[in-house]
A and B are shown apart, each in its own frame.
Chain A
Amino acid sequence: MSEAPKPDGQAVERFRIVMLPHLDAAYGFARWLTRDPIEAQDVAQEAMLRALRYFHAFRGEEARPWLLRIVRNTWTDMRTRRSLEKVPLDEADDVVEPGPDPEQSALAGDRRREIARALAALPEEVREVLVLREIEELSYKQIAAVLDQPIGTVMSRLSRAREKLAVALGGRLGKE
């Protein structure tokens, strides 16, 4: 990316309007990437600041995929910096737990925890594709842009992700 001029008041206002509505998405994606609520905050916040710094390079394309791509790059960089890449992918002990939801029955809560755990336990390469498709509801083309991968790769990873998750949730899927 080119060097970043300091954003002026107008740019910050535009950033608020265009990017801030996607803060929840940025945090949610970061949470599935990091599988840790504290780390996710660091990643999402750092990504927002990077997005502000490079906002001059935003050319009015779709905001959410643009931001999610920065989230992913931020996570990759932070992990490299902290050399956390040695953490095994299947280490899913303290995985994402769905937030407390008193209106739902304990049964539904258990079920959600199980789904969240299975999703969090997927290898990152397929987990991120599935999260972008099923939770962020991005199109293949948008996912390809976030991941900087060809659409064919997106499709095959998505297919693998679904297979793996279906196996992990086998019991849940049969008896609906």
Chain B
Amino acid sequence: MDCPTCEAMVEPYLDGELPAGESVRFEAALEACPDCRGKLDRLRGLRSLIRELPAERAPDLMRARLERELRAAIPAAAPLVESAPSPTPGSAATPSPRLWSRRSAMAASLLVALGAGWVGGRYTGQDGSRETDELLAGYLRVGLGDRPVDVASSDQHTVKPWFAGRIDYAPPVYDLTSAGFPLLGGRLDVLEGRRIAVLVYRRNQHRLALSLWPATASGDTAPVVSEQDGFAIARWRHAGFELRAIGDIAPKDMSVFAASIDKAMEAGK
């Protein structure tokens, strides 16, 4: 083989696309062609660099959302919804063995996440804090649950009084439809042992959960947005409230959301 032929075979050879006979002929030709040997080495080096990249794994939230869609596609054959332990905030319900056997591993891991509060290491907060874990677990209930809110209303005058008598403070509630975040309603959650108010908003097809409770420290802080596993989390303090927002939206959208909340709180003072 002269070199132009041999060079044209380097990549198909590397890619395992040469028929066996041609592979043998190519290897023989390679002996006599340092240029092509060098090219093959470089391509192998490039391949090993690319293959150092860790394999992508579909995020659990997306997997769970898909699972919900698959169940919805066949309403008659969906025993999961009715028989699933209800994801009560803070509870540590374990799915019964009877249910385990009926489920795919995926659905089972989802229910463990919902029922037991995401104890696996995957969603340990960047800072490793329990607060982040609890926020994420709470968010999974909002993001995936068939009943994301306890009180469903886009009317702040319906949602705000609903919290009265259920928690020991009155959270400020604002609909942010004009800013692109319609209010879906509210729910209760438990964060570090305390019952707190969670307001649920929508951004296109995505849901956001805003947890808020009276601040013990004084002074406002600017929202700090971090990103983790496809979730954006914002933390800040404003007008006497600690605020935490979480959602599977882009960090820049989360910043817009936090700014809109601040603006509404200022206007509502």
Chain A: residues with CB nearer than 8 A to chain B?
A: 6-9, 12, 15-16, 20, 23-24, 26-28, 31, 36-38, 41-42, 44-45, 48-49, 52, 98-99, 101, 108, 111-112, 115-116, 119, 130, 133-135, 139-140, 155, 158-159, 162, 165-166, 169, 172-173, 176
Contacts and interface: CB of A to CB of B under 8 A. Distances in A.
A176 B76 contact: no
Given A9-B77, A12-B73, A41 B62 contact: yes
7 contacts: A12-B74, A12-B77, A26-B58, A99-B56, A99-B57, A101-B54, A133-B15
Contact of B58 (A24, A111, A112): A24
B217 interface: no
Contacts, number: 110
Interface of B: 11-12, 15-17, 42-43, 45-47, 49-59, 61-63, 65-66, 69-70, 73-74, 76-77, 104, 106, 205, 230, 248-250
A117 B61 CA distance: 25
B63 A23 contact: yes
Contact of A169 (B49, B55, B73): B49
A159 B73 CA distance: 43
A27 B56 contact: yes
A48 B66 contact: yes
Given A38-B248, A112-B52, A20 B106 contact: yes
A7 to B, nearest CB: 6
- Main SS of chain A's interface residues? helix
B54 to A, nearest CB: 5
A53 to B, nearest CB: 9
B104 A16 contact: yes
A130 B50 contact: yes
Given A7-B74, A166-B42, A27 B59 contact: yes
B51 A134 contact: yes
B69 A38 contact: no
A16 B47 CA distance: 32
B76 to A, nearest CB: 7
A67 B62 CA distance: 17
Contacts of B74: 7-9, 12
Q: Which of B43, B63, B248, B250 has the most CB of A within 10 A?
A: B63
A143 B126 CA distance: 38
A7 B73 contact: yes
Given A7-B74, A166-B42, A27 B54 contact: no
Given A38-B248, A112-B54, 12 more contacts: A12-B77, A23-B58, A45-B69, A52-B73, A98-B53, A99-B57, A140-B12, A155-B11, A169-B49, A172-B49, A173-B45, A173-B46
B56 A31 contact: yes
Nearest to A32: B56
Contacts of B76: 9
B15 A41 contact: no
Contact of B250 (A28, A38, A111, A166): A38
A44 B58 contact: yes
A31 B62 CA distance: 13
Contacts of B63: 23
B52 A115 contact: yes
B191 to A, nearest CB: 24
B65 A52 contact: no
A159 to B, nearest CB: 6
A45 B70 contact: no
Contacts of A112: 52-54
Contact of B50 (A27, A31, A41, A115): A115
A58 to B, nearest CB: 16
Contacts of B61: 41
A15 to B, nearest CB: 7
A162 B15 contact: no
Given A9-B77, A38-B250, A98 B54 contact: yes
B50 A173 contact: no
Contacts of A133: 15
A45 B248 contact: no
A106 B62 CA distance: 29
Contact of A27 (B47, B62, B77): B62
